[in-house]
Structure 1
């Protein structure tokens, strides 16, 4: 089982969007028994809360469920549990590495570095642009799924 953890600041916009999109792609590829995904925050601000209404609405447009998803904070145990710990932006990456005490682990990387964009995923909590975030998250998830499928061969 390959486990993937998406991480952002609050775990209500970007990382739960990535979790939901990735789950949808995994289900469509019939890989549920091989890949598991979750999401977390570097902060504790929204622990226990569902995804942001904008995230829920955008995912609903594409028929992607957020049922049962609740915000949680990154934990030390995550470094052992997950094969990939993926931050949505450079600030997230710095915080993840500090929180987990693992400054050089290759399992920790910025999400869009898997794509041609090599940039941060903008936070729609501040930009209000959930469509741009969705488009980038979908592209990142597709690239990650290609990478993981190569490992599964």
Structure 2
């Protein structure tokens, strides 16, 4: 029986209805497609409690579904203090939410809190995923493009640094 602890990843934006559930759905899809869903657990949350219990924004869902990502099962939740202990990677969509996470977390957890786009190979480490909430359809497409690229980069990082090492120990 495999008792190995799963790698736990939390995606965070402000309200947990656009960017972070998109990242959650896209990354879960890629993890499952790569056959490593038994090794990786994915969740998302918001730094603000605006939309607790609500499904992702309909525009996010429609845009994601067109590319084969399903997220209607997700519900918004707020980041909780236990999340800093429970998750191995806490990935913020923008600098404002990154700062809020760093302020709320114990200092010894700061090393696991980063901007998500750090894993996008064609982006700078400090690139933000823009909030599409008040914009048009193109904003949701851009978010999805960015999330897809960073998801691939994160999966590659996990495979090279963690999964590979676990399988060889």
Q: TM-score band (shorter)?
A: over 0.9
- Could you state the TM-score of these two structures normalised by the residue count of structure 1? 0.96
What aligned pairs does 1:45-124 form with structure 2 within 5 A after superposition?
45-102=50-107, 105-115=110-120, 116-118=122-124, 119-124=127-132
Deviations 1:106-136 (A, max 9, x none): 1100011222312100111033310001000
- Give the Cα–Cα distance (whole angstroms) in 1 for the partners of residues 35 and 80 of structure 2: 29
Which consecutive unaligned segments of at least 5 residues does structure 1 have?
none
> Are the aligned partners of 1:6 and 1:86 in contact in 2 as well (CA < 8 Å)?
yes
User: Alpha-carbon deviation of 1:104?
Assistant: 6.8
Which consecutive unaligned segments of at least 5 residues does structure 2 have?
1-5, 165-169
Of the two, which has the highest radius of gyration? 2
- Could you state the TM-score of these two structures normalised by the residue count of structure 2? 0.87
The RMSD of aligned alpha carbons is 1.3
RCO (CA 8 Å, sep 6+): is it higher in 1 or 2? Answer: 1
